[in-house]
Amino acid sequence: MQSHHLSEQERSKLREEAVAFVDELFRRDEFLFSVRDKQVSARDLLRELSERFADQGGAAALYEAFPDGPVSETIRILGRENVVHGMADFGFGSRL
C-alpha cells in the first residue's frame, strides 16, 4: 500500500476537523454516559477519531497531523486533560 503524505493545507484542515470532532464528542450525552468516573480512556478516544477520519487516512493521517499524538494534542487544545486517562500510553494516541 502506498503511503499518502498530507499537504500542509490537508494537515491544517484535518487538525481543525479533529479538534471540532473531539469537542463535539465531549458535548454528546451518549458519549459522556459511557465515561467512567468522569474520564474517558485515550484508547476509546483514538478509536473514535480513527473511525471518523478513516476516509482521510485514519490513525496514520491523524499522527501526521498531530505529531505529538492525536489524543494528547486535541485534548490539550480543548483543555480537557483532566477527563482522559491513559495519556502516558504511547500506543493510544499520546506521545509525551
Cell numbers 483543555 correspond to what residue? 79
Choose the most confident range, by mean pLDDT, from 26-30, 42-46, 70-74, 90-94. Answer: 70-74
Domain assignment present for residue 1? The answer is no
H, E, C per residue of 44-87: HHHHHHHHHCHHHCHHHHHHHHCCCCHHHHHHHHHCCHHHEECC
Q: How many domains does the chain have?
A: 1
Domain assignment present for residue 54? The answer is yes
Domain assignment present for residue 2? The answer is no
Domain assignment present for residue 62? The answer is yes
- Domain span at residue 43 reads 8-92
Cell numbers standing for residue 87? 495519556
Q: How do residues 34-77 score in pLDDT, each as one tens digit? A: 655 566 778 888 999 999 999 999 999 999 999 999 999 998 99
This prediction's pTM: 0.77
